[in-house]
């Protein structure tokens, strides 16, 4: 079959985000193993504003042309992907505001670019629990817009000690758990 297109992005903006590093390692592994045509986008580059219906209705007339450029780009990339792999921090036991705001914008396009897509959730966290509680909260709105959320998830605790200076995962156990999960997910997609 044709190679699967997988889009990855992180639910945090800061440059040294552990979840961005995680996305990059996912892309590297999927490409190196020829498991998928994987791409990472940095939400910071898209400069997506906080959702405000007036942005659409004041500057817009219902045509996508007047929606923020970054949002339009994301619509296209989500639409073209066969599946998403999203890495998101846990803020206050829940979804990050950045991730939720991104989904709120994605869901404004009709027909939906994200309905029916398969999604795998990952988290990197400096805490002891790896952000998995946040992921259980994060799943909900993605399922509500029609995503097939993969049951298994991976939260990486103490993640600030897990990546080396080049952003590679130096902890062998974590690396193997991640790679096994990615293989299972791609296998499931096929």
Contacting residues toward a second copy, per CB under 8 A: 12-15, 17, 44, 48-54, 57, 91-98, 100-104, 107, 115-116, 129, 132-133, 136-137, 139-141, 143-152
Instruction: Answer for the pair 85, 91: CB distance below 8 angstroms, yes or no.
Output: no
Q: Where are the alpha helices (DSSP H) in the chain?
A: 18-32, 43-46, 53-59, 69-80, 97-106, 132-144, 172-189
Residue 116 falls in which region: left (phi positive, over 0), alpha (psi -120 to 50) or beta: left
Report the phi/psi class of residue 182: left, alpha or beta, with left for phi > 0 and alpha for psi in -120 to 50: alpha
Minimum separation from the CB atom of position 143 to a second copy (A): 5
Of residues 133 and 177, the one with the C-beta less far from a second copy:
133
Nearer to a second copy, 6 or 139 (CB): 139
- Identity of the residue, 34 or 61, whose beta carbon is nearer to a second copy in the bound complex: 61
CB of 84 to a second copy, least distance (A): 14
CB of 69 to a second copy, least distance (A): 16
User: Torsions phi, psi of 62, nearest 5?
Assistant: 95, -15
Shortest separation between residue 164's beta carbon and a second copy, angstroms: 21
């Amino acid at each position: 079959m044709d190679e699967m297109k997988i889009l990855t992005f992180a639910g945090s903006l800061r440059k040294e985000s552990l979840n961005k590093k995680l996305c990059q390692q996912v892309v590297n592994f999927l490409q190196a193993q020829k498991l998928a045509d994987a791409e990472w986008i940095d939400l910071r580059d898209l400069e997506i504003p906080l959702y405000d219906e007036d942005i659409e209705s004041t500057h817009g007339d219902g045509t996508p042309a007047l929606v923020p450029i970054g949002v339009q780009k994301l619509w296209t990339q989500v639409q073209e992907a066969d599946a998403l792999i999203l890495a998101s921090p846990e803020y206050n036991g829940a979804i990050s505001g950045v991730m939720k705001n991104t989904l709120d914008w994605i869901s404004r396009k009709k027909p939906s670019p994200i309905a029916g897509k398969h999604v795998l959730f990952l988290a990197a966290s400096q805490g002891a629990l790896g952000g998995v509680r946040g992921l259980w909260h994060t799943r909900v709105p993605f399922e509500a817009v029609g995503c097939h959320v993969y049951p298994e998830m991976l939260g990486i605790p103490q993640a600030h000690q897990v990546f080396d200076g080049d952003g590679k995962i130096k902890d062998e156990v974590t690396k193997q758990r991640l790679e096994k999960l990615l293989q299972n997910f791609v296998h499931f997609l096929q």
